[in-house]
Amino acid sequence: MRLLGAALLLAGCAAQPPACPPGFAPATVAEAFFGVADGAAWTAFLADTVTPAFPDGLTHLGAGGQWRQDDVIAREDSRVLVLVLPGASLAEAAARLAPVEAAWRGRARQQSVLRVLRPGCAAF
């Protein structure tokens, strides 16, 4: 019975958008983590691909990433793209971000782009 109750609780949490406080509106927060070997290539990509895809605004941050590869820690400079998409569902946010991710994987010869999507509330 506890398992069923927990499953129903989790299902309800996943299906319900957040209840936003007054002055805030539902939004999806999307983050994408891009491995960057060449900072100049990222700057050009930001200007010619990312900005046209998200003309209403975005934030990008410099970072350092690491992961385990064949029992060795690999490290790489990276950029974190943060998008707040008012009124967008998680699926809509993923669909808008997908072409940008694919373009970077091809352009920078990256295997993958880490993506994170979550519901949130936003206000200016």
Listed by start position, the domains of the chain span 21-122
State whether CATH 3.30.70.120 applies to domain 21-122.
Answer: yes
Q: Is the pTM of this model over 0.85?
A: no
Give 41-90 pLDDT, tens digit per residue: 999 999 999 999 999 999 999 999 998 989 999 899 999 999 999 999 99
CA 45 to chain centre: 16
Distance of alpha carbon 60 from alpha carbon 32, whole angstroms: 9
- Give the mean pLDDT of the chain: 89
CA dihedral 42, 61, 64, 115 (to 10 degrees): -80
